[in-house]
Amino acid sequence: MAIIPDRDQEFLRKHFEESLTSDVDIVMFTERASPIIIPGKQTCETCEQTEALLKEVADLSDNINLKVLDISTSAEEAAAHGIDRVPAFVLKGAARGQVRFFGIPAGYEFSGFIADIVDTAAGTTDLSDETRSFLASLTQEVNIKVFTTPT
């Protein structure tokens, strides 16, 4: 059974067809379920659902490429992207930076995730000229984190 309803899949397919100007790579870091129970180690509760959701989204456009890596066997690549927990994924495209997500982009986060795919493909955002000017004036590196939670 699909996570994204058919009607929404069709809407997203059309949205991506109209909006994606270049390719977007989604690099997901997950943790495979182990048949061995390790005392004190918790299993990833949403890794499977996150992977399934990302696969559904990637299947909606030829411009979206999904690569799924196990964090334990791809620790160096995870560290290079600043990933230290799962589930997590990175969006890479025409944008010079990258967008990182931790957790499953469900509920309110889903629309932001879709917008980030489009922005990453375009390599730009719809920030105002005033905001762009301010950001251009920064002389030190800035790490922006946005936290969302359903309420």
pLDDT tens readout for residues 85-123: 999 999 999 877 788 999 999 888 899 999 999 999 988
Cα(44)–Cα(47) distance, integer angstroms: 6
Cα(112)–Cα(51) distance, integer angstroms: 17
Q: What is the pTM of this model?
A: 0.85
Can you identify the CATH homologous superfamily of domain 6-137?
Answer: Glutaredoxin (3.40.30.10)
Beta partners for 65?
25
Is the per-residue pLDDT at 47 higher than 60?
yes
Question: Please, where are the H alpha helices in the chain?
Answer: 6-19, 47-58, 75-80, 108-122, 129-137
Beta partners for 25?
65, 92
pLDDT averaged over the chain? Answer: 89
In Å, how far from its chain's centre is CA 48?
A: 15
